[in-house]
Structure 1
Amino acid sequence: MKTIVLAALTATALAPAVTAMAQDKKTVAVVCHCQQSLPMYKAFEAHLAELGWRDGENVRLVRHFSGGDPALLAASAKQAVDARPDVIFAGFTPAVITLQKHISNIPVIFAGVSDASEIGAATHFNRPEGNFTGSITINRELMPKRLEVLKEALPDLRTVGYLANPNYGLHNPQLEEMEAAAKRLGVQMVTVTTTSPAQFDAAFVELAAKGSQGLIVQQDPLFTGQASRIVALAEKHKLPTIYALRNFFDAGGLMWYGADIPATFARAADYVDRVLKGARPADLPIERPAKVYLTINGKLAQQMGVPLSPIILSRADEVIE
């Protein structure tokens, strides 16, 4: 009988402590316009764990992945906000744009965003003055530059294709900038738009039919999540292609010119760590990538019969022979 009483007293004494531990566990909502399997998202969770935040122990990760589906993204964003987490991690520009429609005071840390000011997520990079901050990819800034790199790699390039999703948040201003760059370089740009993977095959047929001699793929998650398929279609139609994200190159693509996106996702974990420890997003400056990389698959170029300029090969950070 005494043992039973002691057990009861012990359980009673431990109950407040267990409750307190449950209350102390922080909640991080994840809203990513991508698949969970993408290397960049894995980099975020891995670094968060390195910082001591382990899911199920001292933090609860509530994950929402849209897989590139806008309707699912909208529902996921609302669910995340309604749950009132301590902080939200937003992956890619569409996720940030969608969250802006629902959020007033929940801290949001982002990664995979091309231009935070253009979409209204921040007013000043050094002091965001709101509840959104994180690291940007400068992909919008780099899109005209990718056209220059492709032209340098293929000096005889006269017509370049541009595969784009018209629903992407930065589509219109980015398209204007790329068309201006094409005109400056004396290159005709053929833009083919698609809003679904079901349209990819027809889009590449159209690009080839319109005389595209090279291709640039927009940085929208619609394409990012389908890297292997995009790369295969580019090779099938013999279109030398430059990509905005490394995962296309890793899937066998010809060229990648851009920032290390997994590194920016990992860096976002540092922001989340600081917010969970009491920092305000408005006091955390938005970061630009420290370096832009150029990688070239020389082996694929040979297989496709595409002679690349020796100058561009000498400039590359990595060349697959």
Structure 2
Amino acid sequence: MRTALAITVLAATLLAACSPSSSSQQPASAAAAPVVKTVAITQIVEHPALDASRKGIEAGLAEAGFKVGDNLKIDYQNAQGSTATAGQIAKKFAADKPDVIVAISTPSAQPVVATVKDVPVVFNAIIDPVAAKLVPSMEAPSGTNVTGMSDYIPFEPQFELMQKLMPNLKRIGYVYSPGEINSTTMLARMQAYLAPKNIEVLAVAAPRTTDVAAAVRSLNGKVDLLYTSFDNGVVSTYESVYKVATEIKLPLVAADTGTVRRGAMAAYGPDFYDLGVQTGHMVARILKGEQPGTIMPEHPKSGHLVVNPTAAAALGFTLPEAVVKEAKEVVGQP
């Protein structure tokens, strides 16, 4: 009886040792499987500046060790220019609870920050995060679930560029979307800066992208040049801006350097790809354990000058040689 019992115990022991469920037999690859982080990205509309920033974000994450298809999943949603859709995307991300939400542009960031309180949020490409009520200050960490990157470059070097182009500049045209706080904030800053210099700003509202061309045409003969900022409605239809401007010979100066390839004759502003890389590094810090409320919101590290002499000629203007030599980049026909 004792012999039979001993044989039974021995058999059970041998079976347990040979069982595939034994931890010693687990494949090494299963034990080393990477933890996949999810970053949800919402963008108000597709245009070159915002697209470049999004690509930069992915590059910045990769530099920090987070690569798509390896240990990173990106859920990208585009609102196609609709603020209502941007709100729906914010609600979707709130329910999905990714590891981090990145909101590119003010119209996408505002509904995310208003809706999401328990997931880290990083904004990108925002002129004035404080006016947009994303963070209480750009001079200190928020203490909330929000941080991010502004794309604001002071207006002063942009105005200095305009003066180099037109020393006798008196009137600046500005077409903008009245529903975009980034655009209305920029208008207020321009007016406050230029009023003491006796420079007039003639602003024309374009509530929809289909209104932009007519708004540009309405400036015919009334201003010395048209200045375009980071207004998403204007930038998304910049080809129509350029078309009308060439017809009425209205020089175009921009804040968005990407629009120089699409018709602006000169721009001084941030590189949106680099802006995205900075943002990607910030997101990576959060994925590695830092809290967004302890991370200082940031501005672009620098701005640069891009010019397009061919576009200038089509707009009835010749760029001064000194300005062309000063440019970091000279591009051709848009």
Aligned with residue 81 of structure 1, among 94, 112, 120: 94
Q: What is the identity, as a one-letter code, of the residue corresponding to 1:92?
A: S
Q: How does 1:77-226 map to 2 (within 5 A)?
A: 77-124=90-137, 125-139=139-153, 141-142=154-155, 145-208=157-220, 211-226=222-237
**Contact preservation (8 Å) 1:131, 1:282:** yes
Aligned with residue 258 of structure 1, among 256, 269, 274: 269
Distance (Å, rounded) in 2 between the aligned partners of 1:92 and 1:227: 17
For the residue of structure 2 that corresponds to 1:306, the secondary structure is coil
2:85 corresponds to: 72
Query: Could you tell me how far 1:184 is from its partner in structure 2?
Result: 2.5
1:40 corresponds to: 53
Distance (Å, rounded) in 2 between the aligned partners of 1:266 and 1:233: 34
Distance (Å, rounded) in 1 between the aligned partners of 2:185 and 2:60: 34
Q: Deviations over 1:54-110 (max 9, x none)?
A: 334322211111132211111111111111111111111222212121021211112
Aligned with residue 286 of structure 2, among 275, 291, 300: 275
Query: Could you tell me how far 1:238 is from its partner in structure 2?
Result: 1.6
Distance 1:66 1:19, change over 3 A: farther
Q: How does 1:7-26 map to 2 (within 5 A)?
A: 9=20, 24-26=35-37
Query: Could you tell me how far 1:44 is from its partner in structure 2?
Result: 1.6
Q: Deviations over 1:234-260 (max 9, x none)?
A: 333321111121210122421111111
Query: Could you tell me how far 1:269 is from its partner in structure 2?
Result: 0.9
Q: What is the identity, as a one-letter code, of the residue corresponding to 1:251?
A: R
**Contact preservation (8 Å) 2:118, 2:145:** yes
Q: What is the identity, as a one-letter code, of the residue corresponding to 2:64?
A: L
For the residue of structure 2 that corresponds to 1:121, the secondary structure is coil
TM-score of the two chains, using structure 1 as the length reference:
0.84
Moved more, 219-228 or 78-87: 219-228
Q: Deviations over 1:156-198 (max 9, x none)?
A: 3332210100001234443222223333332332111112222
Q: What is the identity, as a one-letter code, of the residue corresponding to 2:254?
A: Y
**Contact preservation (8 Å) 1:36, 1:42:** no
For the residue of structure 1 that corresponds to 2:80, the secondary structure is coil
Distance (Å, rounded) in 2 between the aligned partners of 1:201 and 1:117: 31
Q: What is the identity, as a one-letter code, of the residue corresponding to 2:148?
A: G
Task: Please say if 1:230 is aligned against 2:244.
Answer: no
Distance (Å, rounded) in 2 between the aligned partners of 1:242 and 1:64: 31
Aligned Cα root-mean-square deviation (Å): 3.0
For the residue of structure 2 that corresponds to 1:49, the secondary structure is helix
Structure of greater Rg: 2
Distance 1:171 1:305, change over 3 A: closer
Distance 1:14 1:60, change over 3 A: farther
Moved more, 281-290 or 82-91: 281-290
**Contact preservation (8 Å) 1:64, 1:76:** yes
For the residue of structure 2 that corresponds to 1:123, the secondary structure is coil
Distance (Å, rounded) in 2 between the aligned partners of 1:36 and 1:279: 31
Distance (Å, rounded) in 2 between the aligned partners of 1:36 and 1:215: 20
Moved more, 48-57 or 261-270: 48-57
Aligned with residue 259 of structure 2, among 239, 248, 254: 248
Query: Could you tell me how far 1:148 is from its partner in structure 2?
Result: 4.5
For the residue of structure 1 that corresponds to 2:219, the secondary structure is helix
Query: Could you tell me how far 1:136 is from its partner in structure 2?
Result: 1.5
Q: What is the identity, as a one-letter code, of the residue corresponding to 1:235?
A: T
Question: What stretches of structure 1 of length at least 5 have no aligned partner?
Answer: 1-7
Query: Could you tell me how far 1:225 is from its partner in structure 2?
Result: 2.6
